[in-house]
Amino acid sequence: MILQQVVSGIALGSIYALIAVGFVVIYKATKVINFAQGDLMMIGAYVCYTLITQAHLGFFTAMAISTIATGILGFLLERFTLRPLLGSPLFTVVIATLAISILLRSTATMIWGANELHFPMPLGEQTLSVADINFSSAHVFITAAAFLIVLVFSLFFRFTKLGTALRAVARNQIGSVLSGVSVERVFSISWFLSAGVGAIAGMLIAPLTFLKIDMGNLGLLAIPAAILGGFESLPGAIVGGLILGISENLSGLFLPLSVKRIFPWIVLVLVLTIRPEGIFGEHKKRKL
């Protein structure tokens, strides 16, 4: 029973982690919490659905096209709505991401309507059973994808020139400019990557939550996972997501559902009380 809940918690935590990765990618480069991340996820899923049902493409082809298309949308949003705000207070930029969120939701409602839709599972809908523990093929797929994406992005940030540039801009914009890094280009690329990874998350999660306009609300549930992991750490997103998923599920077993719902936030407060920078966050000391 407890083991079953742990396995279900890993699946739930992977969902959180997958969404949290999108938050982390953009925060790592721009120091902005993108409140439209959940909605980019939703757009990616809808584009994929349209390609499958209207253009009759296979799931993985549709997924690839949708990832790139949503990435381009993220790139354009940065170019035309956030670029003019470069140098503005952080608060202004965060509010702008909220505006983008509303814009994306309204546009999606106009295009696809407000009805929930059935989204196909990439590998079919099967229940797997190992030693009396049941889990669905979708959960396996999400967990594997979350780990794979984190691995790819971790390698990208650590070993590629572009990844280094993204990290440099996040650490010191002026220093990066003086070193020849184009801050504008880095911002655009981080939005492209973040929107793309958001789209992947949306396409993997939609079979579980159904395809709906407000599926972006899930993004808010993933923020504690990102904070818990340190907000700048990709492995931290995975660990944060898993801690929350498992603890939330176990709390649901022993405590009332109303407590289960606030449990991620309780865990978050507890961890931040002990480690304010998050589990994988960098502890920064300042001289006064």
Partner 1 sequence: MKVLMKTTASFALILILVLSSLAAGAEVGVSKDKILVGTHMALTGPAAFAGKGLLEGMKVYFQFVNEEQGGIHGRKIELIAEDDGYKPTRAVAAVKKLMDRDEIFAIIEALGGPTTKVAMPIAQKRKIPYLWPSTATLAIVHPVRRYIFGYYTQFDRICVGLTDLAVKKLNAKKIAVFYADQEAGHNVRDAVIERLKKYNMETLGNVGVKMTDVDYSGVVAKLKTSGVDTIIIATHIPTTVAFLKECRRQNYNPTCLQDPQSTDPMMFKLAKDPAVTNGLIGATYMLPVDSDAEPVKKWREHMAKYSKMPPGNYSLMAYCVTEMFCDALKQVGKDLTREALIDKLETWKNYDNGLSGPVSYGPEDHEGSEGFFVVKAKDNKWELMFDKRVNVTEKMDRK
List the interface residues with partner 1, window 83-112 (CB under 8 A).
109
Nearer to partner 1, 55 or 220 (CB): 220
Is residue 261 involved in binding partner 1 (CB under 8 A)? yes
- Applying CB under 8 A, the span of 48-56, 58-66, 196-204, 217-225 interacting with partner 1 comes to 217-225
Q: In the stretch 130-169, what mask flags binding to partner 1 with x, by CB under 8 A? A: ----xxx---------------------------------
| C-alpha distances out from residue 254 to 194, 229, 264, 265, 271, Å | 36, 25, 15, 17, 21
Among 208, 266, 275, 277, binds partner 1 (CB under 8 A): 208
Asked if 200 interacts with partner 1 (CB under 8 A), we say: no
181 vs 30: CA distance, rounded Å: 14
Which one-letter amino acid corresponds to residue 34? N
Q: How far apart are alpha carbons 229 and 137 in whole angstroms?
A: 27
Q: In whole angstroms, give the CA distance from residue 3 to residue 208.
A: 21
Q: Are 70 and 195 in contact (CB under 8 A)?
A: yes
> Alpha-carbon distance 220 to 33, whole Å?
11
User: Which residue of 140, 209, 247, 275 would you call a contact of partner 1, by CB under 8 A?
Assistant: 209
| Residues whose CB is less than 8 angstroms from the CB of residue 38 and which lie 6 or more positions away in sequence, other chains included | 19, 101, 198, 215, 216, 217, 218, 219, 220, 222
Identified binder of partner 1 from the candidate list 243, 249, 279, 281, rule CB under 8 A: 249
Question: Do residues 43 and 103 make contact, with C-beta atoms less than 8 angstroms apart?
Answer: no
Q: To the nearest whole angstrom, how small is the minimum distance from the Cβ of residue 250 to partner 1?
A: 8
Binding mask 113-132 for partner 1 (x = CB under 8 A): xxxxxx------x-x-----
Smallest distance, partner 1 to C-beta of residue 257, A: 6
Report yes or no: 41 and 22 within 8 Å, Cβ to Cβ: yes
Binding status of residue 179 toward partner 1 by CB under 8 A: no
Residue 86 in tokens: 């470069």
Report how far apart the first and last C-alpha atoms of the chain are (Å, whole number).
52
* Minimum gap (Å) between residue 180 Cβ and partner 1: 45
| Nearest residue (CB) to partner 1, 32 versus 206 | 206
Helix axes 2-30, 183-209, angle to 10 degrees: 160
Binding string to partner 1 for residues 12 to 41, with x set by CB under 8 A, is what? x--x--------------------------
* Count of residues interacting with partner 1 (CB under 8 A): 38
- Positions touching partner 1 (CB under 8 A) are 1, 4-5, 8, 11-12, 15, 109, 113-118, 125, 127, 134-136, 205, 208-210, 212-214, 217-218, 221, 248-250, 252-253, 257-258, 260-261
